Amino acid sequence: MTSKSPVLAAAPCVVGLALLTAARAPAAQDAADPSEPAINGAAIFVQHCKTCHTTQPGQPSYAGPNLAGIVDRKAGSAQYRYSPALRNSGLTWTSENLDAFLAAPKTKVPGTSMFISLTDTAKRQAVVTYLGTLSSEPVPQP
């Protein structure tokens, strides 16, 4: 009876791990592909925003409002219990206003209950691009 060397015995595991890694690589690359800002923005949204916000029309709100159709909507106008500061802000969610709000919510709207910010410009712009796709008529980006 012959026994396999430890290197040969481990070979199937190494090959299997390499195949798993190769199979997963394209998805990771797609999510971070800066040439596809809406895809990248969706991945960033999942990481930073999805805990509080929903995006499909008719979905109930979580800790934050549903963001379906947010671009070009009046701030504080969706079905949600907004802070008085946001309700009375007079803002319309243009791409520019969303960008400024996501960069520093409490600076853009003092008194808002939104406390998460995206300080990285590229990530923030990718999320704004993604939010523009959540409309029944996607909003062109500058």
Report domain extents, the chain. Answer: 32-132
* Dihedral angle computed from the Cα positions of residues 42, 46, 48 and 51, in that order, rounded to the nearest 10 degrees: 140
Residue 136 has pLDDT above 90, yes or no: no
pLDDT 10s digits, 87-125: 999 999 999 999 999 999 999 999 999 999 999 999 999
Q: Which CATH number fits domain 32-132: 3.40.309.10, 1.10.3720.10, 3.40.50.300, 1.10.760.10?
A: 1.10.760.10
Instruction: State the Cα–Cα distance between residues 125 and 45, nearest whole angstrom.
Output: 11
The confidence score (pLDDT) of residue 44 equals: 96
Distance of alpha carbon 63 from alpha carbon 111, whole angstroms: 16
pTM of the model as a whole: 0.71
- 47-80: per-residue pLDDT in tens? 999 999 999 999 998 899 999 999 999 999 998 9
Q: Is 109 exposed, middle or buried (0-12, 13-18, 19+ CB in 10 A)?
A: buried
Q: How many CB atoms lie under 10 A from the CB of residue 62?
A: 13
